[in-house]
Structure 1
Amino acid sequence: MPSWAGTVGLGCADARLRVHIGNRPALAPFDQPDGVMALTNGEIAAIGQACGNGWRKVFSVYAKLVHQLPQSLFEAGQGRQRWQQYRDAQLLQPGSETALLYSPPVAQPAEPCWQILMGRGYGSEVAAQAGIPLTWLDGQFAVSPNHGVILCPYFDYRQLTNARIERLVALMMQGETPRQPS
């Protein structure tokens, strides 16, 4: 069980990279996990196949993001030559330090983490509900540095393009919150 009580989603219980999403795959048990549920090999592919191309894109863009983070800040995403390998063998699995959360961000997390809010509408709404003020940098990105929160476009190739992934990585590096545990 994660240290942040009431959190629900998919991934690693001690995630340092927490991506918050406003929808859930329409496939049991992934739609209603009890807490944070780690995935196993093949489950990302199964969700993508059963729930459509949109979910495959979410997982692929998430893997591309992790793969671009520098090892000095996020070692868990390293060691794979291609982001596709990372997505299929490690993303949202135990030890990956990644989570895809259905619950809102935590205003004051107890541990260092990045909290990424996926999508302008959803992200703005849950940030306001959690009491997290956002500063808009442009029409695509907003930040709350004191809370380790970044709002970005939805994880889709057309919305969070490769150039925007690079921008998101740069914003994450500016805050430099998570580091590999010793």
Structure 2
Amino acid sequence: MRPDMNELSLGASADDAECIFLLPNKPLLPEDEEGKQLTSADVAHIIELNGNHWRKIFTIMAKLASPSSEDWRQFRDLQLLEKVRLVFCIEQLEDFSGLVYLVGNSFKEILPVNDQALAVGEKHTAYIYQSRVWCPYLDYRQFPNILVESLREHLKERPCLHR
């Protein structure tokens, strides 16, 4: 049986995750991999099934979460899903106190940007408040490298970048 959005998560367990990305859409998964803990070795397979769109998503995640901005490719391909958790519904955030990226506009109605949030970026903007980052969808047009670099600079003391 296919897991629904409330059950599906990918990557690290909630206890082991250095950060979580709350995403509005899930990738297609191979039927034989549904329900099992996916690892970074599965990133290439997910990209193969879902195309360039998910390659971009994983790439931006890796650029944000990699301990070194120069090694994001190796991090994406070898460590991403061991360090990062992907979830698809807000309830999956309940007991997590680490850094959470709220991706896209889908969740802003339920978890609105705090009035005291720090705005990062100019043309493309993300907002940081405590352990939450409200950010654009993980696509190069909405989330260019300059925003990635700005967020990394503002979050350099956060656990997702320095565990």
Q: TM-score of the superposition, structure 2-length normalised? A: 0.74
Out of 82, 88, 101, the position equivalent to 2:77 is 88
Q: After TM superposition, give the deviation of residue 102 of structure 1 in Å.
A: 1.1
Tell whether 2:7 aligns with 1:10.
Answer: no
Identity, % of aligned positions: 27
CA distance in 2, matches of 1:22, 1:167: 23
Aligned pair count reads 150
Gaps of 5+ in 1: 1-5, 68-76
* Cα shift readout 1:79-115 (whole Å, capped 9, x = no counterpart): x96321111111112xx2x11111216777454x101
Gaps of 5+ in 2: 1-5
Specify the alignment match of 2:143 in structure 1: 160
CA distance in 2, matches of 1:30, 1:66: 28
* Cα shift readout 1:117-176 (whole Å, capped 9, x = no counterpart): 111x12313414xxx74547276222332xx11101111122111110012113323xx4
Specify the alignment match of 1:73 in structure 2: none
Tell whether 2:113 aligns with 1:124.
Answer: no
Out of 26, 44, 50, the position equivalent to 1:24 is 26
Q: TM-score of the superposition, structure 1-length normalised? A: 0.67
Where do 1:57-72 residues align within 5 Å?
Answer: 57-67=56-66
Contact 1:123 1:151 in 2 (8 A): no
CA distance in 1, matches of 2:108, 2:149: 22
Specify the alignment match of 2:128 in structure 1: 143
